[in-house]
Amino acid sequence: MMNLPVPAGDEILFVPLGGVGDIGMNCALYGHAGRWILVDLGVMFGDETTPGIEVIVPDTAAAEGVRDRLDAIVITHAHEDHIGAVPHLWPELGAPVHVTPFSAAFLRRKLRDEGVESEVPIVEHGPGERFTAGPFELEYLPLAHSIPEPNALVLRTAAGTVFHTGDWKLDPGPVVGEPVDEHVFRRLGDEGVAAMICDSTNATVDGSSGSEADLLASLTELVASKSRQRVVFACFASNVARLDTVARAAGANGRSVALVGRSLKRMDEIARQCGYLTDIPAFVSEQHAGYLPRSNMAMICTGSQGEPRAALARIASGSHPHVELERGDTLVFSSRTIPGNERAVARLQDRFLRMGVEVVTSKDAFVHVSGHPGRDELRRMYGWIRPEAAVPVHGELHHLHAHARLARDCGVETVAEIEDGVLLRISRRNVERLGEVRVGRLGLDGGRLVPLDSKHVRARRRLSEQGVVTASIVLNGRGRSLAAPRVSSQGIVADDEVQGLASELACRGAHALERLSAMQRRDDGTVEDAVRTAMRRHVRSNYGRRPLVEVHVMRIDGGQSG
């Protein structure tokens, strides 16, 4: 791994710290003329492989190493995977945070929740506005996405221009915000663009992502077809346009709409504060929804990704204090499943199906449009921008490879296929790979940021996956055993087999002690290692697991305990 070099005046350095090779945790450094800026600072969320850790952020050690030359943190839009790490990582970075008004309102709410709102300098810019940060002349270019005020970022420098798309789509009827202005992007292409750093999420999807405006008729018809029962929509809280569309579809059928989930209510407040949803009637609270006739009510719920603590999961388990679904109700998943969440979503949908609730997804009806560009939209953007080089980002490897092939098909001769940590040098002449810098992931663990490969996180993961065995050995000072080993286990066998396993392991531990010499039994570390190895081998051979085995040695006549 290399340290970041000092960027020269005839080059732009680019290194992604997150979001290239995975979905989420977007974060990238740009350097020019001795200075740096950071574009986006997002999170991704934990799963069953990160027990006890719900939020994961990029390791920004590379950016922290140039903190004295870091002029700005520039946020493209307010999705968590682009803005969510600011409260956690800003203290180590310290630069002003540049955002549009909606993102500023969202960020201030997050900072207030963390108690650090007054510490972070926030600089607001309107969509389409130009501003400077060190040697960079920056410009927000409005695009469409599934949240208000998504922006591409133009980085103009003495060494050339880079076009960083952020998350985007081309939507002639975005519902929230204005349609994309093709002429703006064509003019940018006419200026000359050295490299386009571009969203790859839907690079494997033919056609276009579809328009939010086209969804209204389909959702209106769907609600009309469920005239007597409750209809519930699951979508991302940040999709303000979808809140608008669902509200209009429900209203056309004489239904009020309730928001179920704190993040939805928070997003509604922020959107209205920023001038969105102003012609939509106030949403009903979840506390009052249960008092309205089922045929007069629609709901929008959080939890479309199977999150265990979100509203949908609580409704499915019967633990939600205000909302319940019953046989004949309809649950519409008006969202895409983020890669990695497939199993959790499928389990959640199965629970509702067992309750007799009809589950509708995008496979069954037209209930969702993506916020990312399909292949036809990518081709149009490449036709407008005509970059000298393409750098696919924001996606898993198969997304990046598909995007790279498409860029070449569009006539881009230089395509840099990279992952997190790869340092690129961009100039008017070419794009070259200089090496790799340190990247990684940190988990928010009880208020602290810890590396995901740290010892205690790995032990927790092993415990959750393979189980744990705890053994107590009682010896006198000469190493003689004074009692049979006491053994307990968790997560290895069924409850009715636990006692039998404990007996087996106690025998294995006793035999391991007998094989040690008198001198060896006087050393606690040697005893622990021998017993641990014997028990682990037995479990592995007979049960196919590799548990965490903890052995405690106790001496009752003045010896040291292990």
pLDDT (0 to 100) of residue 52: 74
Instruction: State phi, psi for 436 to the nearest 5 degrees.
Output: -135, 145
101-116 average pLDDT score: 94
CA–CA separation, 195 and 273 (whole Å): 37
At 562, the pLDDT band (50, 70, 90 cuts) reads very low
Domain 212-360 matches domain 455-555 at the CATH topology level = no
In what helix (H) or strand (E) does residue 505 lie, and over which residues does it extend? helix 498-514
Domain-by-domain residue ranges, the chain? 12-207+370-446, 212-360, 455-555
Identify which has the larger pLDDT, 541 or 198: 198
HSE value, Cβ hemisphere, 13 Å, CA-based, for 3: 5
Question: Cβ of 379: how many Cβ atoms within 10 Å?
Answer: 16
Instruction: State phi, psi for 347 to the nearest 5 degrees.
Output: -65, -40
Task: For domain 12-207+370-446, give its CATH number from 3.40.50.720, 3.60.15.10, 3.90.930.12, 2.70.70.10.
Answer: 3.60.15.10
pLDDT (0 to 100) of residue 448: 85
Report pLDDT digits (tens) over 486-513: 999 888 888 888 889 999 999 998 999 9
Whether residue 224 has pLDDT greater than 90:
yes
446-470 average pLDDT score: 77
At 193, is the secondary structure helix, strand, or coil? Answer: coil
pLDDT (0 to 100) of residue 560: 45
Nearest to 488 by CA among 550, 416, 557, 443: 550
Nearest to 185 by CA among 214, 213, 161, 212: 161
pLDDT (0 to 100) of residue 449: 87
The verdict on domain 455-555 having CATH code 1.20.120.520 is: no
Structure token pair of residue 37: 């800026």
At 557, the pLDDT band (50, 70, 90 cuts) reads confident
At 51, the pLDDT band (50, 70, 90 cuts) reads low
Region of poorest pLDDT, from 3-7, 230-234, 476-480: 476-480
pTM: 0.86
CA–CA separation, 239 and 133 (whole Å): 30
Report pLDDT digits (tens) over 298-331: 999 999 999 888 999 999 999 999 999 999 999 9
Contact 77, 103 (CB under 8 A): yes
Instruction: Give the CATH class of 212-360.
Output: alpha beta
31-45 average pLDDT score: 96
Share of the chain above pLDDT 70, in %: 98
Report pLDDT digits (tens) over 58-91: 999 999 999 999 999 999 999 999 999 999 999 9
Whether residue 561 has pLDDT greater than 70:
no
In what helix (H) or strand (E) does residue 263 lie, and over which residues does it extend? helix 262-273
354-382 average pLDDT score: 97
